[in-house]
A and B are shown apart, each in its own frame.
Chain A
């Protein structure tokens, strides 16, 4: 893989991750357990969408030929999306929503912190702008994990069920693929191998505080970053893309 293709793939991975997770959180808008939570989840969704837009705009420039952020968000198929599988997992209930968020935020914070040192100036700048928001997301989702894990017996059970399911999707986050390898030598990409240990350390620390049991299997699901997704993603994209696909060429 050449550097240019790898960089585009990398930027799209970051953009897609934010868009897909932002869309999942937006599903909760108007339906959260209480108004304050509704506002907080929407805030996170708005941050993620804002970051996604900066990233898509950068990717569109890399592509050239008048490509726009919306072309990339609305006219790529499920096989072309590059987000890790975790973020596309549905909101089965609030436990899934908050655990998905925590498992992602814990990774995302380490990732963006490292990305600030990327040799790609644009990515470093986006990382600098995003990191404060991401720190806040992590604080919020970690606190809610603890609250719901160490809340009532019912809430602990629901959190454990969600954790047992979602755990499988943590494998992919810190596992590099060909794209990462290509960009590592030029100092553009974050060294994911380096994040693995601190990631699981941090996650386990919060799970312990939340009185949750770390699942006793090795997580193994992979493929999102190469465009091989769960059945959930196609539905999410169908909804997200419907108007652009129905009226191609229209301006909104």
Chain B
């Protein structure tokens, strides 16, 4: 039997397993392209959690009440935890965290472009929770059923916390909507700035999306970018009405026939510009991550050196 026939057989068995809704586990055979796709996607996701700590961390020190400060600090800490679960899930595919970090710090790996926008006011913190965590949840709920076991399981834990984040964000905005004139202005301004970037979080439209078809066949994804985006818009419009804010899209209206909201055209030039590094914060986000990594090098090295010394001492004592 030739090698290619062998692989064709393995691939068929793999696909049958996926089709039968059985999870693929780390020790199972998988096509090299499936592994690569997952490493790319999971690590992008992990990097997004970690870089996402920065725009929100920007307001921890200035949070307007002790209650809000504690909640925000805990939220950003959750995101660090999400980063850890996801790096661990990626490591089951045969790559380690150092390599993944390297890819992030050299700009080789991407993270969600949304975190390249600045958090200018306190209202941005509520809006990020409501819209950004909200959009992330759409995607992540789908991923709890993804075909790769460790990724799906990480998502189950993460989703619980994300929906809490979204509620927490919405609650910040509710307080602003019931506040002073200045607070209501702050709220509307933040929604104006975050609405379109949030819609872009679902990625290019289906016609433009390069990886989508294969990912659907492998059941890494189960819904298309446009489908998820539509679900997000449908769920969000009513929440905006309840808040008393206007979503900055004159074309946004209910379409009785489709049973969905229609919405305006996304500025894809902006989307691609930010993906390619020309967003307002791309350079600073990476610079900050790099600085933390470099400043921490002596700490990581010392911890390792100490562990080695300790092991050596124990060995000596064992002999003596």
Query: Does A220 make an interface contact (CB < 8 A)?
Result: no
Over the window 184-225 of chain A, the binary record of Cβ atoms lying under 8 Å from chain B Cβ atoms (1 yes, 0 no) is: 000000000000000000000000000000000000000000
In the assembled complex, the CB of A190 is this many whole angstroms from the nearest CB of chain B, namely 25
Complex Cα–Cα for A31 and B179 (A): 33
Contacting residues of chain B (288-304) with chain A, CB-CB under 8 angstroms: 288, 291-292, 295-303
Over the window 231-256 of chain B, the binary record of Cβ atoms lying under 8 Å from chain A Cβ atoms (1 yes, 0 no) is: 00000000000000000000000000
Complex contacts, A53 vs chain B, CB 8 Å = 66-67, 70
Count residues of B near A (Cβ-Cβ below 8 Å).
48
Q: Which residue of B is nearest A36, CB measured?
A: B84
B73-81, B149-157, B271-279: which one contacts chain A? B73-81
- Contact A242:B296 (CB < 8 A) given known A45-B73, A155-B302, A247-B180: no
Count residues of A near B (Cβ-Cβ below 8 Å).
49
Contacting pair A154 B298 (CB below 8 A):
yes
Interface centre among B73, B81, B84 (most CB of A within 10 A): B73
Q: Which residue of B is nearest A25, CB measured?
A: B73
Q: Which residues of A contact B (CB under 8 A)?
A: 19, 23, 26-27, 29-39, 42-43, 45-46, 49-50, 52-53, 56, 69-70, 73-74, 93-94, 146-148, 150-152, 154-155, 158, 239-240, 242-244, 247, 249-252
Q: List 17 A-B contacts (CB under 8 A).
A: A26-B61, A26-B73, A27-B61, A30-B53, A30-B57, A30-B80, A33-B296, A33-B297, A39-B77, A43-B77, A49-B73, A50-B70, A93-B295, A94-B299, A146-B306, A251-B175, A252-B176
In the assembled complex, the CB of B293 is this many whole angstroms from the nearest CB of chain A, namely 8
Complex Cα–Cα for A242 and B183 (A): 15
Q: Which residues of B contact A (CB under 8 A)?
A: 50, 53-54, 57, 60-70, 73-74, 76-77, 80-81, 83-84, 87, 122, 172, 175-176, 178-180, 182-183, 288, 291-292, 295-303, 305-306, 309
